[in-house]
Amino acid sequence: MRRFARPIIGAVALWFLAGPALAATEPVMTPCPETRREEIVEQKFGEAVADPYRWLEGDVRSAPEVAEWVKQQNACSRALLDALPERAWFADKIAKLLDFERFSVPEKAGNRYFFERNSGLLNQNQLYVRKGLEGRDRLLVDPNGWSADGTSALDAWKPSPDGRYVLLSTQEDGSDWRRLEVMNVRSGDMLPDRVNWAKFTSLAWIGREGFLYSRFPEPEEGQDFQALNYNQAVWFHRLGTDQSEDVQVFATPDHPERSHYAEVTHDGRWAVITSAVGTDARYEVHVIDLARRAKEGWAARPLVTGFDNAWNLIEGSKGGLWFMTNKDAPRFRITAIDLDAAQPKWIDVVQQSDETINAASLVGGRLIVSYLKDAASRALIFDFAGRQVNEIRLNGLGTAAGFRGKPDDPETFFSFASFNRPSGIYRMNLATNETVPFILPKLTFDPERYVVEQKFYTSKDGTSVPMFLVRNRAAAARGQALPTMLYGYGGFDISLTPGFSAVRMAWLEAGGAFALANIRGGGEYGKEWHDAGRRANKQNVFDDFIAAGEYLKAEGITTPHGLAIEGRSNGGLLMGAVTNQRSDLFDGVHAAVGVMDMLRFDRWTAGRYWVDDYGYPDREEDFRILRAYSPYHNLRPGTAYPWVIVTTADTDDRVVPAHSFKYAAALQAADPAGKPHLIRVETAAGHGAGKPTDKVIDEGADVLAFLAQATGLVPPDGTQ
């Protein structure tokens, strides 16, 4: 393996490749900029807190000095990344692994089936429609011609109940802002309807009359990528009218911090408005009887009040509403209420069990309930009395998703995927209990070469934590140690389950292993698992992840100096925190779109929602906790940090790029003569949703080549 020479010592470092040429010419040397520091020190609860890189909080699109810093950092990173010996191999391998036809789970409306398709390397998925189960597939929407760089995306879509129209949610440059438009399915023509400034919205048709959606007030000019999001409301748009005529259906002006989204039951009877105050699964629920709208208007009737528990709508049927809730059931139960009854009351249908209910749907007079069993999917079928009548057999450790349908139609579709298998689509008839493949991908690799296992290891406080491990079957049988990539998230009640990634598979094809740790803070074991990894308990998340790394090295699964780690968003925070706390344990780090400044995260866009998981920086008790692990504030000058690559995007309006800018600058200053510490700033890519395929390939090749260099992973010559 060719290695980097040690960087030149000094304020401005040059990183270069040692030894004979890796290419015909020597790599271009570009200085990494010495980031300007400002003497900003604030007193917070009696503690002096320095923030020397606050000037990097400026919007890169309107702050010339920030834009210049990004340009210089990208040039420095590009010089090193382009010279990495394995980058071309990874780019080629990822592209080949992505080059297969793939589909989404179909959604039926009327006699039409709607689904997404990608022939392989298209930057964006296309939307297709099929008339009848055996009909011909017809292209409806092709976002690939919307922009020259492929960054305009079809984010979401929803057919009207009769399949006559389809509502389209589009995004630009990866932003969270959405524009809503409507297409006539038969003709393929766009209606004149346009809705702007939708964000964090559902798409809910009311017959073919119009639709409900959520939006924020239009931000002030130049603030759409940074301003805090307040005063979200639910609106009704009637087809054929201008947005200025839209009717506000539900809002809480006295509580601007609350967010709201709308759903409509399949029978068209009920509009259900779910309200939240942050990211916690604690909701209030209001219902609007659409059958009485001519008389009562948009009168919203409170159904659940108090913001105490999760109440997730499953479906409505014949006056009844079905919900998943964690009220008195931290791993969830299913309950129903008949709102047409003289005295409506909640009736439990499916009780809590040892496994966490992950999702449920009402199809063909049955309840399909998806469970997480140690973070892998299991699906059971119940009748309306809560009696189990069947189990959907799944092919090993993986994730099943979909199961959409109608209460009076026995047809449903679902997908199943694992780390070594992309999603296959299956059709099920609940009347006959027959399940058949609908569309299975044609793969460009052999999934049987890899074994998917589940291990359990012990964290610092004695908690048993599950971990998925994927590696070459022959190497696993020999007990061979391999350079290993360890992934984690640990927050916001989000469960990490098995799924396919072409980038991860490229790491496996190069001879590495992949591990995913289901650390606390997620939802794998319900509310208690989440609570054990947030706010005052956040250190458990870091301890769990550190223990995963120690386990991989102690068990000889990874090589002694071959442990790479990766995390995104809240997982990027995880990367920064554990690298600070155990810089000796990890050999390569990828921190993507991370929350790095824990004392100012609540000042931008959606950051204010995150206080449920992190706490309030302006409250002393929470401040002490946040200050103790904030990645930006806990870098120690003179520490030997491992190889680190930070990735973000200039249009990320979820976790604004200032987090990554400030952290990268502080990391470079803390260890100026150490191993490479790069930042890679993508243009027009946002937080990740809608990222075009070519950008996925380019970023994946950069990151994997960087981590391979850090861990000693040497891909085979050529492609396999």
- Give the residue numbers marked as catalytic: 569, 687
Contact 115, 412 (CB under 8 A): no
For 602, phi then psi, to 5°, come to -85, 10
E strand or H helix that includes residue 94: helix 87-98
For 228, phi then psi, to 5°, come to -65, 145
Radius of gyration of the chain (CA): 26
> From residue 2, how far is each of 5, 223, 661, 707 by CA, in Å?
10, 46, 30, 13
Query: How many C-beta atoms lie closer than 10 Å to residue 361's C-beta?
Result: 20
Q: In this structure, what DSSP letter does residue 187 have?
A: T
Residue 39 region by backbone torsions, left for phi larger than 0, else alpha for psi between -120 and 50, else beta: beta
Alpha-carbon gap, residue 468 to 457, rounded angstroms: 11
| Secondary structure (3-state) at 692 | coil
Chain centre distance of CA 359: 17
Alpha-carbon gap, residue 645 to 664, rounded angstroms: 9
Neighbouring-strand partners of residue 272: 263, 287
Contact 372, 524 (CB under 8 A): yes
Query: How many C-beta atoms lie closer than 10 Å to residue 222's C-beta?
Result: 11
In a 10 Å sphere around its CB, with 0-12 CB exposed, 13-18 middle and 19+ buried, how is residue 294 labelled? Answer: exposed
In a 10 Å sphere around its CB, with 0-12 CB exposed, 13-18 middle and 19+ buried, how is residue 385 labelled? Answer: exposed
Contact 192, 218 (CB under 8 A): no
* Three state DSSP letters for 217-285: CCCCCCCCCCCCCCCCEEEEEECCCCHHHCEEEECCCCCCCCEEEEEECCCCCEEEEEEECCCCCCEEE
In this structure, what is the dihedral angle of CA atoms 390, 396, 400, 405, given to the nearest 10 degrees? -30
Question: Alpha helices, DSSP H only, in 122-253?
Answer: none
User: Scanning the structure block, which residue is given the tokens 């008790």?
Assistant: 621
Neighbouring-strand partners of residue 458: 464
Sign of CA dihedral 650, 656, 658, 662: negative
Contact 198, 177 (CB under 8 A): yes
Q: In this structure, what DSSP letter does residue 291 have?
A: G
Alpha-carbon gap, residue 683 to 149, rounded angstroms: 10
